[in-house]
A and B are shown apart, each in its own frame.
Chain A
Amino acid sequence: MSEFLSSLRLLKRMNWLMLAAILGLIVIGVFFIYSATSMREDSTADLFRKQMVWAAAGLGCYLMTAMTDYRRLRDVSWGLYAMGVILLVAVLFFGTRIYGAKRWLMFLGVGVQPSEIGKLAVIILGACLLSPLVEKYARLPSLWKLFALAGVPMLLVMKEPDLGSALVFLPIVTAMLFAAGTPVRPLVTLMAGGALVVLLVLAAVALPERLGMTPEHQEKFFQTIRLSDYQRDRIAVFLHPGKDPMGTGWNKRQSEIAVGSGGLTGKGFLNGTQNILGFLPRTVAPTDFIFSVIAEETGFAGALLVLALYGILTVCGLYAAMVARDKMGRVLCVGIVTMFFTHAFVNVAMTIGVLPVVGIPLPLVSYGGTFMVITLFTLGLIQSVYVRRPGL
């Protein structure tokens, strides 16, 4: 009981600016989920209410996590990792298939993306492994061991297939290793290797056609390198934006029009033409393309506000890393901020058409229950590190 009270007292040391930014993003999210669904008559018109419920649950979770000492994670890190891997295997068998990909597991009517849990598990395990209890004597685990540990869930995510989420593992692990003091040279080598893989994938998609391969040969080639049609389409659309305006390229094009036509101050709340007329597909407007709705209705000013709030969160998160009492806290914060930042960056970048359309939502803003709760849980971990900073 006294422990509970003392942790409650700890909450007073919380980074209030960070909490304000979080609340700001959540409020913006609720408003524009409402805008994105307001003209609909089916059950989706209720999404903003559900989002509020999820946000409330998430904020509760956030406070609980902030009160709990992050160092306790050491006890559960391996277990969490194992659970993550099991779920990722399970989703391949029992997942709900949406648009040709199995990414969701349904528990009692609530959808969970195991890839989210996988990322979280890798961050927590990585933070533990990179900060041995007795720092002085410890030696860092080899780069390869860590990459192997991160690689298992990453490959499973790729198998779903969810290329976008899988690639998010790379910056997370790289940033954590870098922050943990891993020598730069092998790290750079690794990053170069990763970049090479990405380039190879892009080349594999783009080149066969350019080289004049017949469609049958292209088919065979893609089968050999195990790149699914769906993945190829997404990447191909990124490479050739004008191609197939009503197919995969549609969302990207319409999102660009939505953002672009927003102008400096936007068309006003509930007045986003692209959204109302359904050019911005109604299924993705409140989720992956919520930023388009915001940018169309509030213009550059509103879009910049959202970016600024993410900037505040990033600064607060990394500040927590800097003032953390131990290495585990530091690495943990860096991992979480990197995940969070990568999600936000990739989502906005795909909305404005500079990155391919990958199914990554905008943290705290996009509609999505479990994603909201998990995001707030990770941000709660940052607060947990922050409130336990030295200098009581």
Chain B
Amino acid sequence: MPAANNTINSELGRIRLILIIMLVLLALLGGMLFSLQVSREGEFEESLHRQSMRRIRLPAPRGLILDRNGVALADNQPCYCLALYLEEIRKPGKWKYTVAEIQRRITELAVLIGRKPVITEDDIWLHIRRRLPLPLVAWRSLDPAALARLTEASCDMTGVDIYVEPARIYPRNELAAHLLGYVGKAELSDADIAGYQYTLPEMEGKMGLERKFDKVMAGEAGGRLVRIDASGFKHAEQVEQEPRAGDSVILALDSRIQALAESAIRDVPGAVVVLDPRNGDVLALASSPTFNPSQFVPIVPKVLWEQLNADPNRPMLNKAVAEVYAPGSIFKPVTALAALNNGAVSVGMTVDCPGYYMIGKKAMKCWNPNGHGRVDLRRAIEQSCNVYFATIGVKCGNDAISDLALLFGMGAKTEIELDREAPGLVPTPEWKKNAWRDDWRVGDTCNFSIGQGALAVTPLQMALMAAALANGGAVYRPRLVTALRDWQGTILTNFPSVKVRQLPVAPAVMEAVRQGMHDVVMAPTGTGRRAGIPGVEMAGKTGTAEYGQKEDRKKHGWMIVFAPYDKPRYAVAMVVDDAVSGGLTVGPRVHELMLGIFGGTPATETGAGG
């Protein structure tokens, strides 16, 4: 049957054709798979990564602020937060079921820990829309009781966990508040968050050292990669880069002396600075009234903020560096040094004080209306005789005094590591011409000689002056920060003490002035005798300067001291508002401070006994 065979052969041929077509089609599929999976793999890998990976910025542990003995003044402590992990709580179906479940859990937990729910339904929706892969923090700063109840709870705790956030604390509260400043919520720049889809709350320094050394203490943020699923919930996470902890700042400050300094002026507006005259170390720097930076973290309560700013005594202002005062009589050693140094006056010269000094036809009163009689330099310093200093001031001329005042560091910022430092003012004829469009007169020189008039100084500048008088004429830059240290304790940077200059004053001249200052505290009639403490030989100078409206008769009381007299280790300047006089008002406070400072050390170490 050839016909039938032909038919069959043609049919077999057709089946072969079908087979070939099918195999070609399969090969085609294989080819397309190859192009998709092998040639273009990276492209899809990339889309997969983009749609499923999210990067979270991890804040770095912030560096600490330590005093010279390693006492933490600004520290981090764990803040326990109760967080809900939504990927474990989610309900199938519409989002509202999940939201309802979250609310139910929060209500349940609220009863358990005994706190009112703080997040609303809107917050939950916002979290779902914006931060779904992150835990939802239901309560911050849980107390130990709440933590205990949570761990003992028998109810369903899936998806509920304690989440630890670092919180800034200031363990000593008000101590050194003006130096430390405080931190607040960081405002991250676009550059900071580039490449990150989510951020966690971060802190940044808003004031004081926290701000000045923010870069140092902040460290470097790290990143965590979170893989999310198709609904946006967290699926898995891995730390991509560990944050680098910030470095700690070590201060020259001695927290014991700082506490004493603050205590000495706790009840009156004012400022105290204690320096080490041997190297310019800032041992204490206090301003009163103060504030508690712990109350400012994580955010400054509005009421507190308004209250602090409305206070006429300006608690937020660091009066030790940012406020200027007329120094009054504590400036007189500068006048004396200037006059003796340029030879206008000799150490042995005496002046008769009748209780007033005639400037032309006008009389300038001495503070003692009965007059001090005939006084020499030593007696004049001890008694703070205005007539003597006006006389020698006029003799040597205002230029000699202002030159020396500038060398002492007055009229310029000391470059301490603090914000808003005021330069103060050392008046000169040029200055007066510019500012007041008036000529310099003899009266200006007289006022200048006794620390009155336009002369304006900060307490820190006066402490530096006291230090220079104490150490025989070395002017140091105040050193508040001595070193930076990384989190493992390795010292990274040492800031050496910087001697700015040696005053061009003959040692004999300096000695004469120091003797006068010695008597201020040590002589039974000295104006500063109330500051004296048993067993320690001290030197100092009191001052009183009027301020405000004349009829208010308000006076700043000043005192500078250094001790021990022979080998001074402490130089102090203290100013308080609304004083009767430096000797009466400030003297006892300095006494309290010095008693505290030396109270902790044996008498043998105080150098010159008796």
A binding-site residues for B, Cβ under 8 Å? 135-136, 175, 178-181, 256-257, 259-264, 273-274, 276-279, 281, 295, 299-300, 303-304, 307, 310-311, 314-315, 318, 321-322, 327, 330, 334, 337-338, 341, 345, 348-349, 352-354
Contact = CB atoms under 8 A, between A and B. Distances in A.
A261 B15 contact: no
Interface residues of B, number: 37
A311 B23 contact: yes
Contacts of A260: 36-37, 40-41, 43-45, 47
Nearest to B34: A300
A217 to B, nearest CB: 35
24 contacts: A175-B18, A180-B11, A260-B36, A260-B41, A260-B44, A260-B45, A261-B44, A261-B48, A263-B38, A264-B38, A276-B229, A277-B227, A277-B229, A278-B230, A279-B230, A300-B34, A300-B38, A314-B22, A315-B19, A327-B11, A337-B22, A341-B22, A345-B29, A349-B32
Interface string B1-30: 000100100111011101100110110011
Contacts of A261: 41, 44-45, 47-48
A285 to B, nearest CB: 11
Contact of B15 (A257, A259, A318, A349): A318
A84 B231 CA distance: 41
Interface in B235-258: 235
Contacts of B48: 257, 261, 273-274, 279
A257 B47 contact: yes
Contacts of B41: 260-264
A274 B51 CA distance: 10
Contacts of A352: 29, 32-33, 36
A184 B167 CA distance: 84
Interface centre among B37, B44, B51 (most CB of A within 10 A): B37
Given A180-B11, A321-B15, A334-B15, A264 B37 contact: yes
A135 B7 CA distance: 11
Contacts of B229: 276-279
Given A260-B40, A278-B230, A345-B26, A307 B33 contact: yes
Contacts of B10: 181
B394 interface: no
B197 to A, nearest CB: 16
Contacts of B52: 273, 277, 279
Contacts of B44: 256-257, 259-261
B597 interface: no
Given A135-B4, A277-B230, A322-B12, A259 B29 contact: no
B147 interface: no
Contacts of A178: 14, 18
Contacts of A277: 52, 227-230, 235
Nearest to B52: A277
Nearest to B49: A261
Contacts of B32: 349, 352, 354
A178 B52 CA distance: 49
A142 B14 CA distance: 19
Contacts of B227: 273, 277
Contact of A179 (B15, B23, B34, B231): B15
A365 B427 CA distance: 97
B604 to A, nearest CB: 75
B19 A303 contact: no
Contacts of A353: 36
Contacts of B7: 181
A304 B12 CA distance: 29
Nearest to A176: B18
A349 B29 contact: yes
B15 A322 contact: yes
A310 B37 contact: no
Given A276-B229, A314-B26, A345-B29, 9 more contacts: A135-B4, A136-B4, A180-B11, A181-B7, A257-B48, A259-B33, A274-B48, A318-B22, A345-B26
Contacts of B45: 260-261, 263
Contacts of B36: 256, 259-260, 352-353
B349 to A, nearest CB: 94
Contacts of B230: 277-279, 281
B94 to A, nearest CB: 16
Contacts of B15: 179, 318, 321-322, 330, 334
A186 B51 CA distance: 51
Nearest to B11: A181
B18 A303 contact: no
A181 B12 CA distance: 10
Contact of B30 (A257, A263, A299, A304): A304
A347 to B, nearest CB: 10
A168 to B, nearest CB: 14
B14 A259 contact: no
Contact of B11 (A179, A299, A345): A179
Contacts of A262: 37, 41
Given A135-B4, A256-B44, A279-B51, A304 B33 contact: yes
Contacts of B23: 311, 314-315
A227 to B, nearest CB: 27
A303 B25 CA distance: 15
Contacts of B51: 257, 279
B52 to A, nearest CB: 5
A354 B18 CA distance: 22
A178 to B, nearest CB: 6
Contacts of A135: 4
A334 B229 CA distance: 44
B18 A179 contact: yes
Nearest to B33: A303
Contacts of B25: 341, 345
Nearest to A174: B18
B26 A310 contact: yes
Contacts of A349: 29, 32
A181 B10 CA distance: 7
Nearest to A278: B230
A307 B37 contact: no
Interface string B103-146: 00000000000000000000000000000000000000000000
Nearest to B17: A178
A334 B18 contact: yes
Closest 6 CB pairs of A and B: A260-B44, A278-B230, A277-B229, A300-B37, A261-B44, A318-B19
Interface centre among A264, A278, A281 (most CB of B within 10 A): A278
Interface in B170-227: 227
A310 B23 CA distance: 10
B118 to A, nearest CB: 32
A259 B193 CA distance: 33
Contacts of B43: 260
A300 B19 contact: no
